[in-house]
Chain A
């Protein structure tokens, strides 16, 4: 019974970090401009993320190394420095956008400009990380993240046609703005398949002491949890499509996106949207900050754990502290969080091959995976993802110019 409850908790709290500023903004834009037509992209992105996180979890459980540490060991620090630098820049931008997302959520409720909330929000994130263990960050905030189910609830209340939704899982060419459609499809992938999620999950399996006997838990949690998060992201798109598209509103700000909750929730619209946005972004901010600490510690061989007193892992603690300070400093300058989000999801796509290619090599190394190296199908899928990631990276900049 306890194992089932743990599993259920793992699936449900996987929502934390999934539905955040990137997925909310890309799904809201996709729904408002193309109706249900980009639902297939969310489904595909969710499946890709599940696939990658399952492998990263399997690697960590069997090798007792995180993904970053395994790549460093396999390829050396000179190779690792390139994806490390790329991910540090990307995570910093993402963290800035997430802090901005929380601040915007508070602005929606208070009317006070979001820049004033950046420092208090960053301080709260830091305090939670300083005082809490891994379980609080992963499961506690994850449970709060269930408020994002309001997007699914909203779609249900609006009476979304299930037949239309089902048909939208087959990719189709839009009748207008093909460049913009393609850009949003790629952006949805970028918003979902974030390198930090893969690294964070890998580190999390070590924090939780997952054993080889629990590889099935790893599989169920990654696929079940990511699919759960995918459904919520679809809820954002469907609700946006049903409310904003008929009004011809293109989402350029979170104030506009919040309007999608007015028909289904009336007077609760803005508080509920603010809560969903704020909690979703807070969860992601916690995970990204912690991930930066994990990443630097694992690459440079520092001791790390969110389950030991922070003073015992000084460099790990300093790493997540410094990155929070840097992100807050950038956010306070007042960059538009939605624009920053779209830039960071575009960069995610560019960085993706640097994540997938080393993973492809490591997952076939029996030194790390013992008898559980990838089979032919997994390797084929990973190879396709590597090529797709490279193609996405090549086209994203022209698409940004044409359609972004």
Chain B
């Protein structure tokens, strides 16, 4: 009976850990996607392929999506307690600031700044950005 209970507890905690790992992986992929989106929009605008109007509204939409992702990470204490989750949360903050800086650069028609900021964006689970 004790063995069965112990096995069940180990199984449940393994399942829970796997679930948390999966959630962190999804957050990481989502943030990577949004970082890539930011780079793609910035490159398209700086390269003259899209208007400043599109770049601004697309970056604002991306900013909203990053904010939603950050809220999802921050909304679960167990995720924030995990060092990987805490790092992702900080990187989401950094990404939001970077997007805001790029929006400013677009407003000032400063393609060089936009490209520079966008090219330095990186989301990794074990490392802080820039």
Chain A contact residues, CB within 8 Å of chain B: 107-111, 247-250, 252-253, 255-256, 258-259, 262, 266-267, 269-270
Pairwise interchain contact B33-A248, C-beta atoms closer than 8 A: yes
Residues of A within 8 A of B54 (CB): 108-109, 111, 255, 258, 270
Alpha-carbon gap, A256 to B34, bound state (A):
9
Q: Which among B40-48, B77-85, B87-95, B112-120 touches the partner chain?
A: B40-48
Chain A CB within 8 A of B36 CB: yes
Pairwise interchain contact B56-A250, C-beta atoms closer than 8 A: no
Alpha-carbon gap, A255 to B49, bound state (A):
14
Pairwise interchain contact B57-A259, C-beta atoms closer than 8 A: no
CB within 8 A of A110: which of B30, B53, B58?
B53
B122 CB, nearest partner CB in chain A, Å: 12
Alpha-carbon gap, A111 to B49, bound state (A):
16
CB within 8 A of B44: which of A110, A248, A269?
A269
Pairwise interchain contact B49-A250, C-beta atoms closer than 8 A: no
B interface, how many residues as a size bin?
A: 20 to 34
Chain A CB within 8 A of B61 CB: yes
A28 CB, nearest partner CB in chain B, Å: 13
Residues of A within 8 A of B32 (CB): 248
Residues of A within 8 A of B29 (CB): 248, 250
Pairwise interchain contact A262-B49, C-beta atoms closer than 8 A: yes
Pairwise interchain contact A259-B33, C-beta atoms closer than 8 A: no
Given A248-B32, A250-B33, A259-B37, is A270 in contact with B51 using a C-beta cutoff of 8 Å?
yes
Pairwise interchain contact A262-B33, C-beta atoms closer than 8 A: no
Chain A CB within 8 A of B109 CB: no
Q: How many A-B residue pairs have CB under 8 A?
A: 60
CB within 8 A of B62: which of A255, A258, A267?
A255
Chain A CB within 8 A of B50 CB: yes
CB within 8 A of B40: which of A109, A250, A259, A266?
A259
Q: Is the contact region of chain B dominated by helix, strand, or loop, or is it mixed? A: helix
Pairwise interchain contact A259-B53, C-beta atoms closer than 8 A: no
Chain A CB within 8 A of B65 CB: yes
Residues of B within 8 A of A255 (CB): 41, 54, 57-58, 61-62
Residues of B within 8 A of A108 (CB): 54, 57
Residues of A within 8 A of B53 (CB): 110-111
Residues of A within 8 A of B34 (CB): 252
- A sample of 7 more A-B contacts (CB under 8 A), given A249-B33, A249-B36, is A111-B54, A250-B29, A253-B65, A255-B61, A258-B54, A259-B44, A270-B54
Interface positions, chain B 24-38, Cβ under 8 Å from A, are 29-30, 32-34, 36-37
23 A-B Cβ contacts within 8 A?
A108-B54, A111-B54, A247-B40, A248-B32, A248-B36, A249-B33, A249-B36, A249-B40, A252-B33, A255-B41, A255-B57, A255-B62, A256-B62, A258-B58, A259-B37, A259-B44, A262-B40, A262-B49, A267-B48, A269-B49, A269-B50, A270-B50, A270-B54
Residues of A within 8 A of B39 (CB): 247
Residues of B within 8 A of A252 (CB): 30, 33-34, 65
A106 CB, nearest partner CB in chain B, Å: 11
Residues of B within 8 A of A262 (CB): 40, 44, 49-50
Alpha-carbon gap, A248 to B57, bound state (A):
21
From B29, B30, B56, residue with most partner A Cβ within 10 Å: B29
Pairwise interchain contact A249-B57, C-beta atoms closer than 8 A: no
Residues of B within 8 A of A250 (CB): 29-30, 33
Alpha-carbon gap, A255 to B53, bound state (A):
12
Chain A to chain B: the 3 pairs with minimum beta-carbon distance, closest first? A255-B58, A111-B53, A250-B33
Pairwise interchain contact A111-B57, C-beta atoms closer than 8 A: yes
Given A248-B32, A248-B33, is A253 in contact with B40 using a C-beta cutoff of 8 Å?
no
Alpha-carbon gap, A267 to B45, bound state (A):
10
Pairwise interchain contact B36-A247, C-beta atoms closer than 8 A: yes
Residues of B within 8 A of A269 (CB): 44, 49-50
Closest to A403 in B: B26
Alpha-carbon gap, A248 to B36, bound state (A):
7
Pairwise interchain contact B56-A111, C-beta atoms closer than 8 A: yes
Alpha-carbon gap, A256 to B60, bound state (A):
12
Alpha-carbon gap, A235 to B112, bound state (A):
34
Pairwise interchain contact A107-B57, C-beta atoms closer than 8 A: yes
Residues of B within 8 A of A111 (CB): 53-54, 56-57
